[in-house]
Amino acid sequence: MTVPKGAEVLLETRLPYLSACQRREVLRTTGLPSGHALLDGPEQWGRLNLFAAADGFGAFDSDVRVEMDANRGGFHAADTWYNAIGGGGGLVKRGSGTLTLAGANSYTGGTRVEGGTLVAASPSALGKGDVDLRAGTLRLADEVRVRGYRQASGTTLAVTVRPGDCAALTAGRPISLASGSTLEISLVNVPAGALVPVLSAPVLLGRFSRITVAGGEHRVQARYSPNGLSVRVLE
């Protein structure tokens, strides 16, 4: 699909933190298929799908770098992409804002967080590549599966655990935790004394320097193993 000239202005208020070229890519990757007599035309305006485009990219065909400034408010501060994102590219999240990925994503180019907060709201939200948390916070609202995971010093992994759940983060390759990294746990209906999984991988390298519990109503005791991390909830 070829996006009509100037069509990117249609998304200027909905996706203000993207560049004009990125908004054109959103329109291209969410466009309607060809073959409809009433929609096909020399300029292809009829193939634009603004309802889908409002939910972000449909594919990362190359690496996408997104910078969000929370101080500017509105969508600059927080936004959610609901589309199922495919493609061979990856995502780089920068800036102080919060971006939520809520689709059944299959992009393979990896995910890198360099600032602010990235929220994974579905099990496949982070695609099928490696995840690299270099700065800011990665928040997992669901049980998430990734290929590999690295967390740098000064960053925070925030997870939610429930009784009977699998690990909050499962990786098919090693998980690497740098000294100075933090884990924040939100407990949902987890009774005192329960042992709940947090990380699972073929190999776990390193340990969190700090583990906190959101709300402060409970304390937890870390149980590290060569293949992951579980926590026991204390009184």
25-57 confidence digits (pLDDT tens): 999 999 987 656 555 555 566 789 999 999 999
Structure confidence at residue 17 (pLDDT): 98
Burial (Cβ within 10 Å: 0-12, 13-18, ≥19) of residue 199: buried
What are the CA-CA distances from residue 40 to residues 9, 35, 53, 57, 102 (Å)? 21, 7, 18, 22, 31
Q: How many residues does the chain have?
A: 235
Q: Please say if the pLDDT value at position 200 is more than 80.
A: yes
pLDDT tens sequence across 71-111: 999 999 999 999 999 999 999 999 999 999 999 999 999 99
Percent residues over pLDDT 70 in the chain: 95
Nearest CA among 34, 32, 87 for reference residue 57: 87
Provide φ and ψ at 117, rounded to 5°: -130, 135
Give the C-alpha separation, 37 to 51, whole Å.
21
**Torsion of the alpha carbons at 53, 24, 89 and 64, rounded to the nearest 10:** -90
Structure confidence at residue 42 (pLDDT): 56
Give the C-alpha separation, 143 to 126, whole Å.
11
pTM: 0.94
Q: Please say if the pLDDT value at position 155 is more than 70.
A: yes
Q: Where are the alpha helices (DSSP H) in the chain?
A: 20-29, 50-53
Structure confidence at residue 97 (pLDDT): 98
Structure confidence at residue 217 (pLDDT): 75
